Every structure is written in structure tokens, then in C-alpha cells.
Structure 1
Amino acid sequence: MSGPRMTMQTQALLRMALSEPSREWYGLQMCEATGLPSGTIYPIIARLERAGWLESRWERPEEHAAEGRPRRRYYRLTGQGAERARLALASAYRSRSTARLPFGAGPTPGDLT
């Protein structure tokens, strides 16, 4: 199964989530932590949730009512999502590193066998 697209924005969100893998984040916190706008964050969250990398829950009504604010939806990495995120970020890092090598400095076909 292939995972979600590893755009730079997706990578930023995954790095943020992996900084505290068991923490629950709500959307505005994710925006603030990554510096990305909500119009970028929420589509990424939706893709990661569909892929099974994130799970979500709505806070209980008494939590937000007591504070007089709208209800929050909290997201966190699943166990499998955290592992896949680590692998995807490592792969993306390797791809960027290889792309910066001078022409001919990468592995030769014999290195790959």
C-alpha cells in the first residue's frame, strides 16, 4: 500500500506529529507548530486519516462548553502511522540528499545489486 504524497508540507506535519507521537493535536495547534495555513493543514490531515496514519476524536461537549469555545477535533498518530511516517520521512530525506549529489556521484547499477 502506498502512503500519502510526501510534499514538503506533509513532511512538516509528520515531523511535528513525530516530535510527540502520543500527543493529541487540534488543527490550530498544527497550524501554529508548522507555520502552515489551515487550508493546507486540513487536506493533509484528511489524507493521513484516510491512509490510517492519523486517528481523530471530538472532545467531549463539557470540555469546550466550560471554556466557552467551539468544539475541537483532536488528531494523533496511530502506531502504524508513526512507523510509516518515520520510514516515509527517512526515504524523503534520502531522496533529497541523493538529488543534491553531483552528476555521476550517485550509486552505480552494480551498487544496487
Structure 2
Amino acid sequence: MEPLSRITPATIDVLSVLDASGEAVWGMLVIKSSGRPAGSVYPILERLERAGWVTSTWEDNPTRVGPRRRFYELTSDGAAAAKTAIGEFARKQARPGTIAAATAVVA
């Protein structure tokens, strides 16, 4: 597994959905659950897969009507790295003096 060169808020949102599911998740469900557009989510999923954080499989259900779905799941190393990344991101956002922390106090 390779470390990610950058971890954006959108990446954290995708990792959070995958981490919370605990099982393979359909790509469209990642989009809906994260609130991020497909144009952001699918490139993130591809980057996570290339880095070894995520694996994907195509649905194999010949009785289902419609296009095949692709399912994504964190690898065991990816799950551990995702938890670390999510925790670090949350700690950075909660630091006193940051814009996010100031906004959270006001809101």
C-alpha cells in the first residue's frame, strides 16, 4: 500500500463512507452518502485503488436490470490508514485558531 500524496476534505468524505460501511459499497452510494459529485468521487476511488487502499469488484448479477454496478471496499491496510487519516483530519479541523474551529464555535 502506498501513502497518499494529498488528502483533501473530499478524500476524507469518501474514506469516511467506506470506513463506516464495513463492507463493499456501490459507487453511487458513496456519492450519495458523501454529498460529493461523481466527478470528484470516482477519481478519488481510482486513486485510492491504485494506492492499494481500496479494492473494487464488478457486480455479477445477471438477473438485475440496468448497468452493472462497481463495488468498492477498503483493504485491511487501507482501513487502518483511513481511520488514521480521518482522525488526523478531525484533529486539524478542531485546533483552536483555525478557521474551521472558529466557524464551529460560532455555528
In the alignment, which residue of structure 2 is the partner of 1:8?
9
In the alignment, which residue of structure 2 is the partner of 1:92?
89
Shift of 1:59: 1.5
1:32-47 aligned at under 5 Å gives the runs: 32-47=32-47
Gaps of 5+ in 2: 99-107
| Alignment partners' CA distance in 1, 2:3 and 2:72 | 21
Gaps of 5+ in 1: 103-113
1:16-42 Cα shifts (integer Å, max 9, x gaps): 111122x11111111111111111100
| Alignment partners' CA distance in 2, 1:4 and 1:69 | 36
Q: TM-score, normalised by structure 2?
A: 0.81
Q: TM-score, normalised by structure 1?
A: 0.77
In the alignment, which residue of structure 1 is the partner of 2:28?
28
1:69 aligns with 2:70: no
| Alignment partners' CA distance in 1, 2:72 and 2:3 | 21
Task: Kindly report the root-mean-square deviation, in angstroms, between the aligned alpha carbons of the 2 structures.
Answer: 1.6
Structure 1's consecutive aligned runs of 4 or more residues displaced over 4 angstroms after TM superposition are none
Count of residues in correspondence between the two structures: 97
In the alignment, which residue of structure 1 is the partner of 2:77?
80
Q: Percent identity?
A: 34
